[in-house]
Amino acid sequence: MNTNTIKPGMKPKHQRLVLLGLALAAMAGALALGISALGTSATYFYAPSDVFAHAPAPGEAIRLGGLVQKGSVQRLPDGLTLAFRVTDNARDVPVRYTGIVPDLFREGQGVITEGHFDAQGTFIATSVLAKHDEKYMPPEVAGSLHKVQGKVTS
């Protein structure tokens, strides 16, 4: 461990500055990488009312959250695909999902679905979450339902 035999290319102090510069560059690079990736891969959350206010482009990956509308759940003839409507009690959106729905999925329950709209305006879900947070409710759903003032009664 005799340090005198080492011949570093630079004096320690200068080297430290270079290292510092590298470290800051790495962090800045990571930040830039992160922010540019956020621009393309952050998934926006929509409540059904938002879909009508500013519709996402067909094919764009979004999350759609709300309640499974009462009486809307239908199983298609293949036995595997579910068709249902997700509502925030103001507007509702048709959703299709092929697969086994999670344990907490049932009519009237809050769900978050991930997927995209097809050209006909049906939301093709690739996953359905009734997420297992501490209160069994996705915060986004609770939040958006709290914001919606309610349905207009007949």
> Which of 83, 94, 96, 140 is in the footprint of another protein by CB under 8 A?
140
Smallest gap from residue 116 Cβ to another protein (A): 13
- For residue 29, count CB atoms less than 10 angstroms from its CB and return exposed for 0-12, middle for 13-18, buried for 19 or more: exposed
Decide whether 29 or 121 has the Cβ nearer to another protein.
Answer: 29
Phi first, then psi: what are they for 24, rounded to 5°? -65, -40
Q: What residues from 30 to 59 belong to the interface with another protein (CB under 8 A)? A: 30-31, 33-35, 37-38, 40-45, 50
Decide whether 121 or 126 has the Cβ nearer to another protein.
Answer: 126
Smallest gap from residue 121 Cβ to another protein (A): 21
d(CA 37, CA 23): 21
The total number of residues written for the chain in this structure: 154
Q: How far is CA 92 from CA 19, 50, 87, in A?
A: 56, 10, 4
Decide whether 27 or 55 has the Cβ nearer to another protein.
Answer: 27
Q: What residues from 90 to 129 belong to the interface with another protein (CB under 8 A)? A: 98-104, 110, 127
d(CA 112, CA 102): 11
> Which of 75, 107, 118, 121 is in the footprint of another protein by CB under 8 A?
75
149 is a site residue for another protein (CB under 8 A): yes
